[in-house]
Amino acid sequence: MTVTNPVPVETVFIFYSESGKLTTLPHKKLEGPEKWGNVWQGGKEFTGIEDRYFTAAFLPPLNQPTPLQTRYWKVFHNIKVDGKDQSEPVPELATATSAQDMALRVLLDPRITTI
């Protein structure tokens, strides 16, 4: 499963938990897909992506609490700013289980923000 959200990019974060430690990565710290190729990082208890309005978290199945594998990167797309083309990064996340059957628990939740 891949989740993308290009707007506004400054509010998009990738996160994961490994050995009980939460790591959060803003779009600026993500590399392009060419850096990692098809390399997956294992040992994650949960992974996710969030922006200003929503959080999507991916967890292993309850009956099969195996660690998750993840890949995260950014790609670029063109947007118009004041009538001119501009390149903007789009953070992306992929999460999988190492088990043969692909099964994940997914939490999609609106974030409560104050204005």
Domain locations along the chain? 2-108
Residues 6+ apart with CB under 8 A from 90: 4, 5, 6, 9, 74, 75, 76, 77
Whether pLDDT at 113 is above 80: no
Report the pLDDT averaged over residues 30-53.
86
Report the pLDDT averaged over residues 68-89.
83
Q: What is the pLDDT of residues 51-69, one digit of tens each?
A: 888 999 999 888 777 889 8
Give pLDDT, residue 61: 83
What pTM value is reported for the model?
Answer: 0.77
Six-digit token pair at 95? 């999460």
